[in-house]
Structure 1
Amino acid sequence: MKLVIDGIIESLQNNGGCTVYFNQFLSFLQQDKKVSLTYIRFFPVMGENVSLHDANCSLVKRDQRFLERWRDVDTSQFGDDIIFHSTHYRLPTRNVRTVTTVHDFTYELYRKGPARWMHSWQKFRAIRNSDLVICVSQNTADDLMRFCPIERDKIRVVYNGVSESYFPIQGVQKDSSVIFVGARGWYKNFTLAVRTLNLFPYLKLTIVGGGALTPEERALLEECIPGRYEWLGRISDSGLNELYNKAYCLFYPSSYEGFGIPVAEAMRSGCPVVAVHTSSIPEVAGDAALLVKGATVDAFRAAFTQLESQALRKKLIADGLVQAKKFSWEKCYQDTLCVYQELME
């Protein structure tokens, strides 16, 4: 099997869900000697965040062309007996077997204007011209049929995984920190999270990633929970695992997710989760999290009040450890490999 991966994602983001997905997937792929892997890296990059091992991967370096992110990828040097898979909704210049992964429909739901038009144009074009389309959850597959209907038999649901870097640490001392991970804008409902914690003076908010706090965010934090918050920026998997192990809970108030990796990470670490029963979150959390019906302060207050029960906390932790076992990057790899193999038949 000859596989060509278009690594344009490294030129579009320094880190993020798509980067994590392909980095984890490729780590397994490069150990599979039955696959001939070629990875195309476009320069300049925002960060070489996809790890490559020269022994098991042929790296092709290319300079970016004008408007590179929107252009098709020249695959003429690789022949026609390849499978092409882009890290971000691009197509090959030649008629070869093509797979596209769809992570979510946040642009279609929450963006407006030219940014949405261009993103959707590129995404929909890739979806319609791919032989098979991978969706990272059933909810994403349902959204695909809503925004860009195609033949259902072209869709394959392959769940994201969770790094083995997340696990319970024996004897860890619990604290009163509530973890908020990732982006904070739009549908992520950061404001609701802060206003909820205003009602629980014994808790503090630990903010991970998502870029530096804006002046508006700092003003909100100072108004609602002064002296009870910290922003840690981007940290390693091992560092985040330690935070989850110590934490009171993960607070994930997002109104929409294509998958929601932090939910699975927290559960795998033995950390209770408070989230919203929406989009893909119920698929990931199952019955192992406190899921509210709507993203409101009143709903979250009720959930945090429930979480004061030690019996409930113990049950959520135990159920979460079981639920998280359903998701692994190795399974994601094996399921994706099955998609490739379908195209070889």
Structure 2
Amino acid sequence: MIYIDGIVFSLQQHGGISVYFHELYSRLVAANAKAKLLIHEKSELNVTLSSLDNKQGLVQKKSRPLERYMRSDVDSDCVFHSSYYRIPSLTVPTVTTVHDFTYEKLVSGPRKWVHVWQKNESIKKSDVVICISNNTAKDLMQYCKVEESKIEIVYNGVSECYRPLSDYDLTTEQVLFVGSRTGHKNFKIAAQAVSQCSFLELTVIGGGGFTKREKAFLDEIMPGRYRHMGHLSNKQLNYMYNSSYCLLYPSSYEGFGIPIIEAMRAGCPVIAINASSIPEVAGEAALLVERPDIRLLADALKNLKIGRERERLVRAGLEQANKFSWQKCFEETYRIYERLQ
């Protein structure tokens, strides 16, 4: 029995970790594997979980106080895989997936201390620790001493919904910025880079609505040349990738960077930073600048109009994206489950 602790579905409405466990569990069900997915009351608010086609094996329990920090109740004959650093109530074979070390690198104070303590406890008590990139595995060895023999690299995938819409030319002069706008995502730098290219507009997807401060900043540097869109379905986001000048992804730190591969699979050129896991995931198929700098990013945006650079990036991106799939991620993860059973 594979027992997936779906605590993450009650911690966020949507997000990369929710997508990861949705993809794993839906494939377990499709493969007729013996599997359970534990969810809690607040999970019904999760957009990703609500799209699960087959709800076979779902086990719903009432949330306890501080549920996210409690041990997860499990059956004695299972392989346990928590979606967010929880420990099983019984001693059973345990898998933990480590996505990144954002808290360790970029957060301070009590939030960091609690997160790091829980993560380290989960890692130390696991039989296998899955890292979603080699860069994350390197960070793991730095921040949490663990036997290298316990580490497995299993890359994230990308939804098959993303594809070129080649029946007609959709390309516009909009630059996409996808996801969170917190500090290390370098949103202000991205906006300033776009503002220096008078032929371009900025479209922001997800990450919550603009704050008053963000809106005032954008009105000052690029009035009338920006818009915000909320959370989009894969189909809607695929259309946006297809109809955009490029994806601008100037994050300084990523455990993987799923939007990079989504954009590439849709035939959308990518401009990103040559840092953390990004060069590992993007390969030679993106325009990578050495640091999040306004001038460097603006130059990269302008370079997409030169000669056949855009065509080269689209072709290279489609080839690079073929290296990643959720089915491959599932198969490699399932072999780990089988080894522990």
TM-score, normalised to structure 2, is: 0.97
Q: Classify the secondary structure of the residue corresponding to 1:45.
A: helix
Deviation at 1:283, TM superposition (A): 1.2
The one-letter code sitting in structure 1 at the alignment partner of 2:264 is M
Query: Deviation digits for residues 292-335 of structure 1, max 9, x if unmatched?
Result: 01111122122123212141110000000000000000001001
Structure 1 residue 117 displacement after superposition: 0.5
Do residues 141 (structure 1) and 137 (structure 2) align? yes
SS in 1 for 2:217: helix
Within the candidate set 237, 259, 264, 2:261 is matched to: 264
Deviation of residue 119 (structure 1)? 0.6
1:31 partnered with 2:30: yes
Unaligned stretches of 5+ residues in structure 2: none
**Counterpart residue number, 2:163:** 167
Task: Give the corresponding residue for 1:61.
Answer: 60
* Counterpart-to-counterpart distance in 2, 1:168 and 1:59: 35
1:49-88 to 2 correspondences below 5 Å: 49-50=48-49, 51=52, 53-54=54-55, 57-75=56-74, 78-79=75-76, 81-88=77-84
Q: CA deviation at 1:59?
A: 2.1
- What secondary structure is seen at the aligned counterpart in 2 of 1:173? coil
Q: 1:164-200 CA deviation, whole Å, 9 max, x = no partner?
A: 0000001132110000000001100000011111110
Secondary structure in structure 2 of the residue aligned to 1:202: coil
Runs (4+) off by over 3 Å: none
Q: What percent of counterpart residues are identical?
A: 46
1:46 is displaced (CA, Å) by 5.6
Check if 1:194 corresponds to 2:191: yes
Q: Partners of 2:140 and 2:9 in 1: how far apart?
A: 25
Partner of 2:89: 93
Q: Which runs of 5+ in 1 are unaligned?
A: none
1:298 aligns with 295
Number of matched residues?
337
8 Å Cα contact 1:12-1:46 kept in structure 2: no
Deviation per residue, 1:117-161 (Å, 9 max, x gap): 111111111011100000111111110001001000100010000
Aligned partner of 2:152 among 150, 156, 159? 156
Q: Distance in 1 between matches of 2:302 and 2:13?
A: 38
CA distance in 2, matches of 1:46, 1:217: 31
For 2:15 and 2:44, how far apart are their aligned partners in 1? 12
The separation in 1 between residues aligned to 2:43 and 2:160, in whole angstroms, is: 27
Q: Give the aligned partner of residue 13 of structure 1.
A: 12
User: Following TM superposition, by how much is the alpha carbon of 1:342 offset from its aligned partner in structure 2, in angstroms?
Assistant: 2.0
Matches within 5 A, 1:211-290: 211-290=208-287
State the distance in 1 between where 2:29 and 2:44 align.
23
